[in-house]
């Protein structure tokens, strides 16, 4: 579409939607045109931000009280949107929200820390790490004023204290606290997420502690059913009760993606180690063999049965972003990744025809709107559109030695007593749960639709 002032143009489109509600709007995407991709991303970013209330009077910046971790996915999408399009419209909300939830420099805010999972905290650490790598200016006048790098370091410092040697010879539990359902599980996203964060900190800072932990987590994962380095199958979880001999085998895109992303960073950090190249190629091939429908990304566990919850809808959007970063960090993967990113974006654009306001669906492979609606659908669509911008900007994320200037604090988060691993207690059968994030009721509905339309004026 080639729009220049995207937010202003979107408001015009929203007003037109009120006057011409009988017309079915769609995202007219030319996948080979930079401005067209930017315009598509602007449309879905505007839509996803209609669900965000943290910038309103009386609301809490960065918070979605019933699904706190999703704030990090919103800000991850915003960071990449800003970086690749240059649109600063949402940067104030982004900066304030990322800082407001910082806790004591570790993303363990007191309002939510008593029921968080390790994966929840980890995703906020990845958001802060992304801010540092994309040179999003450190905050000095909002919230705590912590630097992005220090927040990522704070999450790392707090999580390695919870490395659990009482079972399975190590590993991260899914949940932090023993009273939480799922505490007995050691799952892929918690371990793969900390592996990814460690690898990214290693590359950014060149500090050995981070690479040592990345290797430790990687090789521990290989020693369990979580990853096979012969088939590159990634299991969702394994149980501490059963000494990590069993596996929960539900297949999710982001489990593969988080390990692949960490391996890509380690490959880049080690200047081309074949160990990490083999891992990247193995995981990438298995991911595409498992999660593609006509070259279009599909969440195979829930999309065919239309059983995806809000968490699930975000997963392939996260994978889209991690695929684009992998293509930048491991250039030999670029030509394999780009056709999938392009086909998925084209299909996603065709799904964004709902309710006369570019509401996007879940099942991109249908190439039409499927009736679903919510913030999560818009976040994932934004992610796949922005991921395609690497066709026009192939510069890798920066490090402290290539232009990154986020302030380091290797002892960040060390003073927070809530970070320590809780005392072990007897395990009961009631503790066992599937190793995916807690299912949250699907929200949005017609309230979201009307909010989208009215806020455009």
Question: For 148-173, b where at least 16 C-beta lie within 10 A, e where not — what string?
Answer: bbbbbbbbbbbbbebbeeebbebbbb
Question: How many Cα atoms occupy the beta-carbon half-sphere of 407 within 13 Å?
Answer: 11
Range of the domain at 304: 6-454
195 is written with which tokens? Answer: 């592996």
- Dihedral class, residue 358 (left if φ above 0, else alpha if ψ from -120 to 50, else beta): left
The helix (H) or strand (E) run that includes residue 453 is helix 445-454
Please, are residues 36 and 28 in contact by the beta-carbon 8 Å criterion?
A: yes
pLDDT of residue 114: 81
Please, are residues 351 and 370 in contact by the beta-carbon 8 Å criterion?
A: yes
pLDDT of residue 168: 98
- 1 in a domain, yes or no? no
Please, are residues 161 and 145 in contact by the beta-carbon 8 Å criterion?
A: no
Question: How many Cα atoms occupy the beta-carbon half-sphere of 303 within 13 Å?
Answer: 23
Tell me the sheet residues that pair with 175.
117
Q: Is 411 exposed, middle or buried (0-12, 13-18, 19+ CB in 10 A)?
A: exposed
**DSSP conformational letter for 292:** E
Cα radius of gyration (the chain): 21
Residue whose C-alpha is closest to residue 107's, from 93, 128, 121: 121
Own/partner pairs, 113-117, CB within 8 angstroms, 24+ separation: 113/418, 114/177, 115/177, 115/180, 116/68, 116/176, 117/69, 117/174, 117/175, 117/176, 117/180, 117/182, 117/190, 117/437
Q: What is the largest CA-CA distance in the chain?
A: 63
- 335 in a domain, yes or no? yes
pLDDT of residue 295: 98
Please, are residues 45 and 77 in contact by the beta-carbon 8 Å criterion?
A: yes
Q: Is 188 exposed, middle or buried (0-12, 13-18, 19+ CB in 10 A)?
A: buried
pLDDT of residue 66: 86
207: domain CATH number is: 1.50.10.20
pLDDT of residue 456: 40
Q: H helices of 181-309, where?
A: 188-205, 208-222, 253-269, 274-291
Q: At what angle do helices 375-387 and 310-329 cross, to 10 degrees?
A: 10
Q: Which 3 state secondary structure label does DSSP give 377?
A: helix
List CB contacts of 345: < 8 A, sequence separation 6 or more: 29, 31, 37, 40, 384, 385, 387, 388
Tens-digit pLDDT profile for the chain (457 aa)? 333 344 444 433 443 443 333 344 679 999 999 999 999 999 999 999 999 999 999 999 999 988 999 999 999 999 999 999 999 999 999 999 999 999 999 999 988 878 899 999 999 999 999 999 999 999 876 656 899 999 999 999 999 999 999 999 999 999 999 999 999 999 999 999 999 999 999 999 999 999 999 999 999 999 999 999 999 999 999 999 999 999 999 999 999 999 999 999 999 999 999 999 999 999 999 999 999 999 999 999 999 999 999 999 999 999 999 999 999 999 999 999 999 999 999 999 999 998 877 899 999 999 999 999 999 999 999 999 999 999 999 999 999 999 999 999 999 998 765 555 443 333 333 333 333 333 233 233 333 433 433 334 3
Q: How many domains does the chain have?
A: 1
Sign of CA dihedral 291, 193, 231, 325: positive
How many angstroms separate the CA atoms of 208 and 206, rounded? 6
- 437 in a domain, yes or no? yes
Sign of CA dihedral 62, 66, 69, 70: negative
pLDDT of residue 449: 35
| Number of neighbours of residue 371 by Cβ within 10 angstroms | 12
pLDDT of residue 144: 67
pTM of structure: 0.86
Please, are residues 81 and 115 in contact by the beta-carbon 8 Å criterion?
A: no
Residue whose C-alpha is closest to residue 129's, from 183, 200, 66, 231: 200
pLDDT of residue 417: 52
- 79 in a domain, yes or no? yes
List CB contacts of 208: < 8 A, sequence separation 6 or more: 202
- 120 in a domain, yes or no? yes
**DSSP conformational letter for 248:** B
Task: State residue 70 phi and psi, 5-degree precision.
Answer: -65, -25
């Amino acid at each position: 579409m080639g729009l220049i002032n995207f937010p202003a143009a979107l408001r015009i489109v929203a007003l037109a939607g009120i006057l011409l509600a009988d017309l079915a709007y769609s995202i007219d995407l030319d996948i080979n045109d930079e401005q067209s991709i930017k315009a598509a991303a602007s449309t879905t970013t505007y839509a996803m931000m209609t669900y965000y209330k943290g910038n309103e009077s009386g609301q809490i910046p960065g918070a979605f009280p019933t699904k706190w971790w999703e704030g990090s996915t919103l800000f991850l999408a915003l960071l990449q949107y800003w970086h690749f399009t240059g649109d600063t419209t949402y940067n104030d909300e982004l900066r304030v929200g990322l800082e407001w939830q910082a806790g004591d420099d570790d993303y363990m805010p007191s309002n939510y820390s008593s029921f968080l999972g390790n994966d929840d905290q980890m995703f906020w650490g990845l958001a802060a790490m992304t801010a540092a790598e994309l040179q999003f200016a450190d905050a000095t006048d909002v919230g705590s004023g912590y630097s992005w790098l220090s927040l990522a370091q704070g999450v790392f410092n707090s999580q390695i204290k919870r490395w659990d040697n009482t079972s399975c010879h190590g590993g991260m539990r899914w949940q932090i606290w023993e009273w939480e359902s799922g505490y007995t599980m050691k799952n892929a996203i918690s371990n793969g997420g900390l592996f990814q964060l460690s690898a990214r900190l290693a590359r950014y800072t060149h500090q050995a502690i981070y690479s040592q932990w990345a290797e430790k987590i990687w090789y521990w994962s290989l020693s369990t059913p979580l990853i096979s380095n012969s088939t590159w199958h990634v299991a969702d979880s394994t149980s501490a009760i059963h000494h990590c001999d069993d596996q929960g085998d539900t297949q999710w895109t982001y489990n593969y993606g988080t390990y692949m992303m960490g391996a890509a960073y380690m490959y880049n950090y080690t200047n081309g180690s074949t160990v990490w190249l083999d891992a990247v190629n193995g995981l990438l091939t298995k991911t595409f063999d498992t999660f593609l429908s006509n070259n279009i990304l599909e969440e195979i566990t829930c999309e065919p049965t239309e059983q995806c919850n809000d968490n699930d809808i975000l997963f392939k959007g996260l994978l889209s972003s991690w695929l684009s970063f992998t293509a930048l960090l491991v250039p030999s993967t670029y030509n394999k990744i780009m056709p999938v990113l392009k086909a998925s974006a084209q299909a996603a654009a065709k799904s964004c025809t709902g309710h006369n306001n570019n509401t996007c669906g879940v099942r991109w492979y249908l190439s039409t709107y499927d009736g679903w609606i919510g913030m999560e659908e818009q976040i994932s669509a934004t992610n796949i559109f922005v991921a395609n911008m690497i066709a026009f900007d192939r510069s890798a994320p920066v490090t402290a030695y290539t232009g990154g200037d986020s302030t380091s604090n290797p002892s960040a988060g060390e003073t927070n007593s809530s970070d320590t691993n809780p005392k072990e207690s007897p395990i009961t059968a009631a503790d066992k749960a599937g190793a995916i994030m807690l299912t949250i009721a699907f929200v949005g509905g017609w309230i979201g639709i009307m909010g989208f339309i009215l806020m455009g004026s």
